Each structure stands twice: as C-alpha cells, then as structure tokens.
Structure 1
Amino acid sequence: MGIGLEAVTALSPVGDSRAGEVLRLRREISRMQRRRSDLPLLPLDPAFSSLLPEQGLQAGTSYTVSPSPSLVLALLSAASRRGLWCAVVGMPTLGVEAAAAFGIALPRLILVPEPGDRWLAATSALAEVVPLIAVQPGSRARDADVSRLSARLRDRGGTLLVTESTSTGAWPQSEGTIRLHDQHWEGIGEGWGLIEGSTATVTATTRHSPLPASVRVRLPGPLGAIEELPAESTTADTRAELTALPALRDRDDTGREYRPLAVAG
C-alpha cells in the first residue's frame, strides 16, 4: 500500500493536464490513509544533532533551507532510514542515484520534479500522508495559502523543508533556517575528475534559539551517512581563510579582469 516511484516519480504537468495529474495524485494518496503522526520530532543524522536544540526537526512546522540538493538529501536521510516516507517537489535536478548515495530508501521516496504552477497543490496533497516534504516553490505563495498549508502540517504532524530564493522571498511562519555554505567538492582535479563528494558547513537558527549553530560535514560520508569533520579541521580551515585575507587586500588588482567560474551544487 502506498505510492512508490512508479506512481508519481514524474508528475510533470503540461497545459490542461495539470489539474488531472494533481487529482490523480490525491487519489493515490488517499489510498495510503496515514493517520496523524504522534512523533514530536523527525530524526536528523547524528552529525546534525548539535544544530537544533531538540536534535531533530519539529513535527507540524516548516523550515527554510538552502536550495542545495546535497543539503536536502542530507536532511531527508535519517527519516528515510527510520522507515518514514519522504517527498521532494519542484527539484528536477535531484537524482535518485544521489538520493541512494545518502542512504535514502527509494521505494519510500516520492519525486514531483516539475509541478509547474501546481507546486502548492501537490505539496498540500502530499502533506496529508507524507511526514517529511522538501519543496522548491515555483512562485511566491499567498499568505492565505501558506496559513492553510501550515494548518495541515500541524494537523497531520508533518514537516516541510522550503528552499529559499530571491524570486519567491522568505517562507512565512518558518520555525528556523538551515543553510549550507563554504562547500568544497572532492575528486575534481584541474578541470577534470569524478566528483566523489563534498565538504561544507551547515548552520542553523530557530525562533527559540536565535544564536547560530554550525557543523562542518562531508556530504555524504563513505558509507552514505553524513560524516562530521573533527573540530580541529574546521578551525584550521577558518584560520587559513582569515590568514589569506590581508594578503589579498595588499595586492594591487585594480583594473584586473577575472574570468567567471562555474560552480556546481
């Protein structure tokens, strides 16, 4: 019983078929008939335990996150390994191979890569039965629609991860923010090589804990789980970056042109 990848892996509506696809999704979801979850927290990977004061994602709430596929998959991984269903809406570049590398159970992963302007309807429908949903909004949501979705999350005990962008603005009624920054890719040589993973810093703040908490991690680790890097590595990286700044300021680079760099992730 339930919706697997074969049912809604590619909800990619075109033209007038969008409404029909969403209705089909609702019918499939109604077959699951998930009752309200009584879990107060959804689990996070142990490497992220120090980020949030509760050491987990609060049920019935929303979080604003960076639009990074690596971060989204890292936040879904622990819940999926515990047997919970997860869904990703509006992220066509997120692949199933990458999800599997993070230890996410593909039979319990629902992908809606291109919902178009029906992204909010698809997210609301999934919130009926899926406890953890990540969504990349396709447009700015109205306050009334956000309030209805928030009420549904509270009623069903679900958690929503909303990626932030300049076009859609900040997500209202967010419990906190989880951002990825200072990401460095591994396995790439001078313009060649296979990507083997990345290291990055993840920083979180919440309404009840406004002071930021950060952790340096490898995404993913050798066994798929998130690997927390030793504290001395983070300190060394930070010291190296700070030491380099004065030297850069002393150089006379006035008028020098730099070629743009391509950034992955």
Structure 2
Amino acid sequence: MHGATDDLGKHSPARRANDSVPGAGVLPVAPALAKLLPDGGLRRGSTVRVRSSTSLLLALIAEASRQETWCAVVGIPDLGLVAAHEAGIDLSRLALIPNPGADLVAVTAALLDGLDLVAVGGTQQLRAGDRQRLTARARQRGAVLVATDDWPGADVELGLTPGGEGWDGLSQDGHGRLRSRRVQVRATGRGAQHRGRKATLLLPGPAGAAAAVDWSQTASSADHTRVPVPRERQAG
C-alpha cells in the first residue's frame, strides 16, 4: 500500500466539515474532462464507472489529488506508481491496494469511510448486494466511488468512443517522437443532463496529464501526422 491509510478515519471529519463550503460538494477534474460532467467535476456521494481505460481512470483522479484530495485505487494490480505519476497524480495523496483478495468489499468500504475518492477494480464476481452497499456507503460518506467494471446504477459512465484515435508527434516523413494521443470521451448516465456529452482531448497530453485539444494549433500545423492506434491498444 502506498500513501497514508493507516489512520483513515482522521480524514473524514475534515471532509464533512468542508461540505458546507461552496463548491466543496464537487471534487475537481482536469478542465479537459470537466465539460463531460454535469457539475463540472465529481459530485460527492456519486458512483462513476470508467470503461476499459486505465489512462482515463488516472486522468479522472489526477486533478483531485493535486488539490489535496485523498484517493485510493483498489484491486487493479497492473496499475503502478510510474504510470500514476506520469498522469499527473500526486503520489503523496494516493493509496494503492493492488491485491485485496477476499477482503475487496471490506477494504473498499473502509477506504470510503476515510478518503474522498476510491477507485475499485476486480469486481466482476461481486454480488449485487455488495455493489449496492458500496454505492450506499459512498453516498452516506460523501465520497466518490469509481468502478472499472460493470456497475449497474452508476450515476455517470465514461468511456472512449471507438475510431478517430491517433498519436500526434511524427512528421510527415515519419521522424519525430510520439507526444500525445487524441481521443474522444463520451459520458452517459441517468437523467437528461448526462445525454450526448462528448469531448475530444489529449490522453496523454504532451506533459503526460490529460489536456484539451488546441484546435487552432492543430489546424495550422503542417509538419505532424497522426498515427493510428493499434486495435489492441485502443482500450487503454
């Protein structure tokens, strides 16, 4: 485990005290992602599902961690600190529990009691009742629960839309260095406010973190080409 999770409960009073502050009910996200979310961020007490994209998951967590939000990732053994750092996450605000084993539900519930944002994977075998209890725990504690597997009833679902992806950075003659990947992200969810929300962004951007596309620079640039994303990499 990485980060300060030995005394989870000590973070909860501060979180509840801040709920009365304007804007404190929403955790911040990168500006490139804010337009996808009705509240411009991650509403406390909500459940979000991120489909088949570790890079999108990390991008969703990054801004909140940089704004002193305590975050955790549970049950995703392939996610490492290097990738998290490159995505812009403040590692001092991140706890990694890659293999909780049979204690997945208990560990996730404990983290929701003490931290602000908890991402959980490996939930394919959870019973419907376990999912409902974790959803209710997040709502009661004012935390945000982010699931990477199917999660019926999630308030928001984010995923990359197929097609139109590509890496930018190579010149027309094939020289240069891949710098960023342009993707389209779609948000769906319950209620009319979630319908039809799409955004094109760089994931990763030139500096590693998610970034908005500068369309004026893209349109005026004549010395770069786009490299199609191989089929097996389009989900990441």
The TM tier, using the shorter chain, reads 0.7 to 0.9
Q: Which contiguous aligned blocks of 4+ residues in structure 1 show a shift greater than 6 angstroms? A: none
Equivalent in the alignment of 1:127: 112
Is there any run of 5+ residues in structure 1 with no aligned partner, and where?
A: 9-27, 165-169, 235-259
Matched, 1:112 2:97: yes
Does the C-alpha gap of structure 1 residues 161 and 194 become closer, same or farther in structure 2, counting only changes over 3 Å? Answer: farther
Name the SS of the counterpart of 1:84 in structure 2.
coil
Match of 1:34 among 4, 9, 12: 12
Match of 1:184 among 166, 170, 193: 166
What is the deviation of 1:116?
2.5
Does the C-alpha gap of structure 1 residues 138 and 155 become closer, same or farther in structure 2, counting only changes over 3 Å? Answer: closer
Matched, 1:5 2:14: no
Deviations 1:143-184 (A, max 9, x none): 3222322222122110011113xxxxx313310211123443
Greater share of residues in strand: 2
TM-score calculated relative to the size of structure 1: 0.69
User: Is contact 1:52-1:206 (8 Å) kept?
Assistant: no
Equivalent in the alignment of 1:219: 203
Does the C-alpha gap of structure 1 residues 138 and 146 become closer, same or farther in structure 2, counting only changes over 3 Å? Answer: closer
Matched, 1:171 2:178: no
Does the C-alpha gap of structure 1 residues 7 and 81 become closer, same or farther in structure 2, counting only changes over 3 Å? Answer: closer
Mean alpha-carbon deviation: is it higher for 35-44 or for 83-92? 35-44
What is the deviation of 1:199?
2.0
Name the SS of the counterpart of 1:127 in structure 2.
helix
Paired residues in the alignment total 213
Is there any run of 5+ residues in structure 2 with no aligned partner, and where?
A: 220-229
Write out aligned runs for 1:142-181 (5 A): 142-164=127-149, 170-181=150-161
Does the C-alpha gap of structure 1 residues 84 and 67 become closer, same or farther in structure 2, counting only changes over 3 Å? Answer: same
Name the SS of the counterpart of 1:94 in structure 2.
coil
Equivalent in the alignment of 1:71: 56
Equivalent in the alignment of 1:263: 233
Equivalent in the alignment of 1:45: 30
User: Is contact 1:137-1:162 (8 Å) kept?
Assistant: no
Equivalent in the alignment of 2:75: 90
CA distance in 1, matches of 2:8, 2:63: 25
CA distance in 1, matches of 2:67, 2:3: 22
Name the SS of the counterpart of 1:141 in structure 2.
coil
CA distance in 2, matches of 1:95, 1:126: 19
User: Is contact 1:120-1:137 (8 Å) kept?
Assistant: no
User: Is contact 1:47-1:226 (8 Å) kept?
Assistant: yes
User: Is contact 2:30-2:63 (8 Å) kept?
Assistant: yes
Name the SS of the counterpart of 1:145 in structure 2.
helix
User: Is contact 1:52-1:205 (8 Å) kept?
Assistant: no
Match of 2:212 among 209, 218, 228: 228
What is the deviation of 1:108?
1.1
CA distance in 2, matches of 1:261, 1:52: 28
Name the SS of the counterpart of 1:5 in structure 2.
coil
User: Is contact 2:115-2:143 (8 Å) kept?
Assistant: yes
Highest CA radius of gyration, 1 or 2?
1
Does the C-alpha gap of structure 1 residues 66 and 195 become closer, same or farther in structure 2, counting only changes over 3 Å? Answer: farther
- % of aligned pairs identical? 38
